[in-house]
């Protein structure tokens, strides 16, 4: 999941894949805007065939938190 | 046709477009349901009757939730019964919701179940709120049956259902609101750090929505993607949309905006610059591919116009989108002006300008600041006479924006006079409000909050003596903890995403205030 997310992240912000770490914060470290982040979640919904709740997703700050949240959804 | 009350807008649209779709929304992944203009009028009039039945007609009704048909019915039912709607940001922390309800003298709270947490806190912290009404609850799981025939039987700890109340106590409502009566209080960030309740009348909102003929044909399909509690969305998507007999499509989540554009196939969308810039990245990535195919993939088949407002948009975007057959019309406004002050038009625009003055607006420039007057200018700030006096000097609204008006009445902005951050998604943020909150931490001696590269940054001069006394080695980490704690308790648009730690005090003005610029 981490590798998959890394690929998608590079479609939204200009960052080298090796600079993306589990502890990277989307806005502070990777330069996401709130709208980039929402758009990326939309793409992930299709890729993983899950339904993401906007309110829940708003609490995600780091790449690892996103991996955990998406893995949980995939298992449901 | 210019309408002076919101009721006129709804009644005229219903008479003209009756059974045609007014609102379309998703019920399942790719399934669309619709409500007609007749439905919208009937459902909103039902809620007007409910307010009368509850003895709340004329009182203040707060509405909190995502954009939905129920939200619109609750809003229209409230204002058309002569009551005052208080739309609230769905992302506000529950404690802030309660504070605003108390400050706005709200007696009825209509909420979307996504804010059940706020509803629970309202029961405890808002003694004036008499009725708490859920937008989703059904007859089976609500306490509406307890209402019986006497509204007095109800206590606010009961779970009431909007639709059940409408069914039991709805009906026709022929109340005719006065054009100059207060109908909506909208909260906006103030420069003093305390949000202010902008008081708007029926005329303010209705004339703003209907005074300009944008030459849009009836049945234009709009996709509403902005938060509905914002004046820009409420006035231009909802009220103007209804006045034109448009089809208003509900974007259920920002996460699904791209998919919803393809599903609803809108002709027009209102956006804030942040959204346009994100879409621009997609267009730039697709450079070299056939424009027709890119447009279809990104925006759907029919999109021809994007109205941009809420913050200033870099005019280079206009040329980029034009290549795909999409016209961006940049506008300008503020909640205090219900909200549109000026807009570019598809047949008359100046790219560097934020548009031509609305027909119901006059403008002048004083000490470089743009001042406006007209039928959309607010009554004032709710229970804030000092702030009202400052903003409305001699009937002219001080916009706080620096700029000029050319000979064709087009407005050009050059900067800001007031210390207010306008984010790219159109939110107003008071730096002082955040500074005051961060200063509560003992470790923070001085703090300055500003916008840097699209995000909110806090620059902090810590109390090094205190840190030494407490044996704090990693001061940066401790300050980040202060910010993390603050971020947890605040609305998303007020979160601080960058920290700079100073080693020296800030330079000061002669009156010992931190120099901002």
Question: Are B382 and B470 contained in the same domain?
Answer: no
> Residue B430's pLDDT band (boundaries 50, 70, 90)?
confident
Read off the pLDDT of residues B144-166 as tens digits, 9 standing for 90 and up. 544 544 444 455 667 799 999 99
* Residues on chain A touching B116 (C-beta within 8 angstroms): none
Question: Are B412 and B457 contained in the same domain?
Answer: no
Question: Are B244 and B322 contained in the same domain?
Answer: yes
Any domain includes B166: yes
Dist. CA B56–CA B142, nearest whole Å? 20
Dist. CA B328–CA B330, nearest whole Å? 6
Question: Are B363 and B400 contained in the same domain?
Answer: yes
Question: Are B411 and B442 contained in the same domain?
Answer: no
Contacts of B127 (CB under 8 A, 6+ apart): none
Question: Are B232 and B292 contained in the same domain?
Answer: yes
Question: Are B55 and B127 contained in the same domain?
Answer: yes
3-state DSSP of B483-503: HHHHHHCCCHHHCCCEEEECC
Question: Do B160 and B137 touch, CB atoms closer than 8 A?
Answer: yes
Check which CATH number belongs to the domain holding A18 and give it.
1.10.1200.10
Which of B134, B161, B177 is the last residue in one of the domains? B177
Check which CATH number belongs to the domain holding B492 and give it.
3.30.300.30
Question: Are B404 and B435 contained in the same domain?
Answer: no
Q: How many domains does chain B fold into? A: 3
Read off the pLDDT of residues B165-196 as tens digits, 9 standing for 90 and up. 999 999 999 899 999 999 999 998 765 567 89
- pTM, full prediction: 0.88
Chain A residues bordering chain B (beta-carbon distance below 8 Å) = 11-12, 27-28, 33-36, 38-39, 41-43, 45-46, 52, 54-55, 57-58
Chain B residues bordering chain A (beta-carbon distance below 8 Å) = 91, 114, 253-259, 274-275, 277-278, 281, 285, 424-425, 454-455, 492-493, 497-498
Check which CATH number belongs to the domain holding B407 and give it.
3.40.50.12780
B469: containing domain: 430-501
Q: Rounded to whole angstroms, what are the CA distances from B316 to B54, B151, B276, B422?
A: 53, 58, 11, 20
Read off the pLDDT of residues B37-64 as tens digits, 9 standing for 90 and up. 999 999 999 999 999 999 999 999 999 9
pLDDT of B433 above 90: no
Any domain includes B157: yes
Q: How many domains does chain A fold into? A: 1
Q: Where does residue B422 rank: exposed (0-12), middle (13-18), buried (19+ CB within 10 A)?
A: buried
Any domain includes B363: yes
Mutate to test the interface with A, among B114, B250, B255 (most CBs of A within 10 A): B255
| Number of Cβ within a 10 Å radius of residue B484 | 13
Question: Do A34 and A27 touch, CB atoms closer than 8 A?
Answer: yes
A8: containing domain: 2-75
> Which regions of B367-454 does DSSP assign to beta strands (E)?
369-374, 380-381, 392-393, 396-405, 411-416, 421-422, 428-429, 444-452
Any domain includes B186: no
Question: Do B425 and A34 touch, CB atoms closer than 8 A?
Answer: yes
Question: Are B172 and B309 contained in the same domain?
Answer: no
Q: Helices (H) and strands (E) in chain A — how many of each?
A: 4, 0
Question: Are B413 and B436 contained in the same domain?
Answer: no
Question: Are B341 and B457 contained in the same domain?
Answer: no
Read off the pLDDT of residues A26-70 as tens digits, 9 standing for 90 and up. 988 898 888 889 889 998 998 888 989 887 888 898 999 999 999
Question: Are B253 and B389 contained in the same domain?
Answer: yes
Mutate to test the interface with A, among B118, B225, B256, B285 (most CBs of A within 10 A): B256
Any domain includes B514: no
Interface predicted TM-score (ipTM) of this complex, two decimals: 0.82
């Amino acid at each position: 999941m981490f590798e998959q997310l890394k690929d998608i992240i590079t479609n939204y912000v200009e960052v080298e894949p090796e600079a993306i770490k589990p502890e990277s914060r989307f806005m502070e470290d990777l330069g996401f805007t709130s709208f980039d982040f929402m758009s990326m979640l939309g793409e992930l919904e299709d890729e993983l065939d899950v339904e993401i709740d906007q309110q829940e997703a708003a609490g995600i700050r780091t790449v690892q938190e996103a991996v955990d949240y998406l893995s949980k959804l995939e298992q449901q | 046709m210019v309408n002076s009350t919101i009721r006129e807008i709804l009644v005229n649209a219903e008479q003209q477009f009756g059974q045609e779709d007014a609102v379309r929304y998703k019920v399942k992944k790719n399934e669309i349901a619709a409500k007609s203009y007749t439905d919208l009028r009937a459902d909103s009039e039902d809620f007007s009757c409910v307010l009368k039945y509850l003895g709340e007609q004329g009182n203040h009704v707060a509405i909190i939730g995502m954009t939905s048909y129920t939200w619109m019915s609750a809003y229209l039912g409230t204002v058309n019964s002569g009551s005052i709607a208080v739309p609230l940001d769905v992302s506000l922390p529950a404690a802030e919701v309660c504070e605003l309800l108390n400050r706005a003298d709200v007696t009825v709270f209509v909420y979307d179940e996504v804010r059940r947490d706020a509803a629970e806190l309202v029961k405890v912290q808002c003694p004036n709120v008499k009725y708490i009404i859920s937008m989703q609850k059904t007859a089976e799981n609500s306490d509406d049956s307890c209402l019986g025939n006497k509204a007095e039987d109800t206590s606010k700890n009961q779970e009431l259902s909007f639709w059940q109340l409408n069914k039991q106590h709805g009906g026709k409502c022929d109340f005719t609101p006065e054009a100059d009566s207060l109908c909506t209080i909208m909260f906006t960030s103030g420069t003093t750090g305390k949000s202010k309740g902008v008081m708007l009348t029926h005329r303010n909102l209705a004339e703003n929505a209907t005074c300009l003929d944008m030459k849009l044909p009836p049945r234009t399909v709009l996709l509403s993607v902005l938060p509905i509690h914002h004046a820009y969305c409420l006035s231009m998507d909802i009220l103007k949309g209804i006045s034109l007999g448009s089809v208003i499509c509900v974007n259920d989540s920002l996460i699904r905006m791209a998919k919803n554009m393809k599903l609803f196939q809108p002709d027009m969308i209102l956006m804030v610059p942040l959204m346009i810039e994100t879409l621009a990245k997609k267009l730039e990535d697709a450079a070299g591919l056939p424009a027709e195919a890119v447009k279809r993939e990104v925006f759907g088949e029919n999109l021809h116009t994007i109205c941009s407002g809420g913050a200033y948009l870099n005019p280079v975007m206009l040329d980029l989108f034009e290549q795909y057959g999409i016209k961006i019309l940049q506008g300008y406004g503020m909640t205090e002006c219900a909200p549109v002050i000026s807009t570019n038009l598809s047949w008359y625009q100046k790219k560097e300008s934020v548009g031509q003055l609305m027909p119901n607006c006059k403008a002048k420039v004083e000490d470089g600041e743009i001042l406006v007057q007209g039928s959309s200018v607010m009554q004032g700030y709710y229970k804030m006479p000092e702030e009202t006096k400052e903003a409305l000097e001699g009937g002219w609204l001080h916009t706080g924006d620096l700029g000029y008006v050319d000979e064709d009445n087009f407005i050009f902005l050059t900067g800001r006079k007031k210390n207010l951050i306008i984010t790219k998604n159109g939110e107003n943020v008071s730096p002082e409000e955040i500074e005051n909150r961060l200063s509560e931490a003992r470790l923070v001696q001085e703090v300055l909050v500003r916008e840097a590269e699209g995000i909110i940054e806090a620059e902090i001069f810590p109390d090094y003596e205190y840190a030494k006394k407490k044996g704090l080695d990693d001061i940066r980490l401790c300050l980040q903890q202060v910010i993390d704690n603050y971020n947890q308790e605040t609305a998303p648009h007020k979160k601080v995403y960058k920290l700079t730690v100073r080693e020296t005090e800030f330079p000061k003005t002669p009156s010992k205030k931190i120099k901002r610029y």
